[in-house]
Amino acid sequence: MAGKKTFTMIKPDAVEANNIGPILAMINKAGFRILAMKYLKLTKEQAGQFYEVHKERPFYGELISYMSSGPIVAAVLVKENAVADYRKLIGATDPSKADEGTIRKLFAKSIAANAVHGSDSDDNAEIEANFFFSHLERF
């Protein structure tokens, strides 16, 4: 059964471009409720830990430098079929391949600086939510 939670980050490029508001509006409009949210800046170590699954990929070093380059918004979102529906709302990793009307099509600058993160499975949504939020921070 598909889960009800996913985890997202509004990445440094989108924060820098003053797109927190428009992105949150799209998230709410698409029917996601915000269970938890915070505004913070990751250290390089924390970004490295979050993206540890990509450690062997060629873009890992650049990715963690970028993800620790400025503040982000982290959030847990709730909706039926959250993981798949949110991946659909954000669009493809590479914004040039993202569908019209998706968050990445509208706001991403490049394949690396692609505006938002979205979990790729229910298990990873749980792991990623636990990386950022205690149970006292979920409502």
101: left (phi over 0), alpha (psi -120 to 50) or beta: left
63 binds ligand UDP (CB under 6 A): yes
Q: Return the one option of Mg ion, ligand UDP, none that residue 63 interacts with (CB less than 5 to 8 A, by type).
A: ligand UDP
- Tell me which residue of 7, 46, 21, 17 sits closest to 114, measured CA to CA: 17
Task: Give the 3-state secondary structure of residue 56.
Answer: coil
Q: Return the one option of ligand UDP, Mg ion, none that residue 114 interacts with (CB less than 5 to 8 A, by type).
A: ligand UDP
Stretch that binds ligand UDP, among 26-34, 40-48, 78-86, 106-114 (CB under 6 A): 106-114
User: Minimum Å distance from CB 107 to Mg ion?
Assistant: 17
- Position 74, amino acid: A
Q: Is there a catalytic annotation at residue 117?
A: yes
Chain position whose Cβ is nearest to Mg ion: 120
97: left (phi over 0), alpha (psi -120 to 50) or beta: alpha
112 binds ligand UDP (CB under 6 A): yes
Total site size for ligand UDP, rule CB under 6 A? 9
Encoded tokens for 46: 């924390």
Active-site residue among 5, 11, 104, 117? 117
Among 93, 122, 127, 138, the residue binding ligand UDP under the rule CB under 6 A is: 93
Q: Return the one option of ligand UDP, Mg ion, none that residue 93 interacts with (CB less than 5 to 8 A, by type).
A: ligand UDP
Exposed e or buried b for every residue in 107-136, given b needs 16+ CB within 10 A?
A: bbeeebbbbbbbbeebeebbebbeebbeee
Q: Which residues contact ligand UDP by CB under 6 A?
A: 54, 59, 63, 93, 111-112, 114, 117, 120
